[in-house]
Structure 1
């Protein structure tokens, strides 16, 4: 008596294949997201960068007040085009915190 191949093929098609597809779809979705620890670290790094930017502005103002020939090499202090991006980041961070 021959072993019917339908006993193997049917479960593979209706159980194994959908399970395999769903397994990799969920792996793909979770790999594309950032973890909350990563978000917290990015927030801390952003705050640190803002503080360092403010300190750099202060240093440049102090050097410029002592030396009238000094020309700052970086962006001008409190330029609207520079601060617009920072305000957008602040808004996005605030929205993230409210969503939690």
Structure 2
């Protein structure tokens, strides 16, 4: 009987206290590390930002050309 109690009580304490805490901390740390962007996602985002800046510059250039050729183009299009 004493050997049964000798193994049963530590096993019960481990399963009741240590294991749940261990699992909770393990998955909390996994969640924290996966919360950010991966390197591939960061590179894709940087490439998209460069493309957006290029397109914004192109739109500004086109608007400048339209302003020079037809000064009232913006008021015509905004009234429609």
Q: Say whether the fold is shared (TM-score over 0.5).
A: yes
Cα shift at 1:7: 3.5
Q: Which runs of 5+ in 1 are unaligned?
A: 74-100
**Alignment partner of 1:59 is 2:59:** no
Distance of 1:69 and 1:19 partners within structure 2: 69
Which of structures 1 and 2 has the bigger CA Rg?
A: 2
CA RMSD between the two structures: 2.2
Matching residue within 53, 65, 79 for 1:50: 53
**Alignment partner of 1:11 is 2:10:** no
Determine which structure has the larger helix proportion and give its number: 2
TM-score (norm: length of structure 2): 0.72
Cα shift at 1:41: 0.9
Q: How many residues align?
A: 72
Partner of 1:40: 43
Using CA pairs under 8 Å that are at least 6 residues apart, name the structure with larger relative contact order, 1 or 2. 1
Cα shift at 1:62: 1.0
